[in-house]
């Protein structure tokens, strides 16, 4: 009883796995890339369920205007920012220049 069709969740994970280091995508963009437009919020809640030891680049997902989704001084926000900086992404005041780092397939 193997499901030949990918679940909507698997579509999101697959799309996320193709986002290159040093680039970012918005929640809505990721949903659209997975063929599921209009589900930005759902993508967010999905990422929240991602296990801590996952190798998927969850940190490359930000808000459409280039802001980190987490509260500014939160540990989660700091972890994400650190990871992005390690990949060369410049972040000033919790904001990323989307025209510069947004990934375009």
Partner DNA sequence: ATGGTGACTTGGC
Partner DNA sequence: TGCCAAGCCACCA
Residues that bind DNA (CB under 7 A): 8, 26-29, 38-45, 47-48, 50, 58-59, 61, 63-65, 69-70, 80
Distance in Å, CB of 14 to DNA, minimum: 16
Is 8 or 88 the residue whose CB approaches DNA more closely?
8
List the beta strands (DSSP E) in 4-83.
25-26, 61-62
Is 22 or 74 the residue whose CB approaches DNA more closely?
74
Distance in Å, CB of 65 to DNA, minimum: 6
Tokens of 23: 């680039």
Is 20 or 64 the residue whose CB approaches DNA more closely?
64
Distance in Å, CB of 10 to DNA, minimum: 12
Q: How many CA atoms lie within 13 A of 93 on its CB side?
A: 2
Give the phi and the psi of residue 99 in degrees, each rounded to 5: -60, -20
Pairing type for strands 25-26 and 61-62 reads parallel
């Amino acid at each position: 009883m193997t499901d030949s069709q990918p679940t909507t969740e698997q579509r999101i994970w697959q799309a996320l796995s193709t986002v290159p280091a040093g680039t970012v995508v918005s929640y809505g963009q990721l949903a659209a890339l997975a063929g599921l437009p209009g589900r930005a919020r759902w993508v967010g809640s999905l990422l929240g369920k991602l296990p801590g030891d996952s190798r998927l680049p969850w940190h490359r997902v930000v808000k459409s205007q280039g802001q980190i989704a987490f509260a500014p001084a939160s540990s989660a926000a700091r972890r994400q920012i650190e990871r992005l900086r390690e990949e060369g992404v410049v972040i000033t005041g919790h904001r990323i220049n989307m025209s510069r780092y947004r990934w375009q397939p």
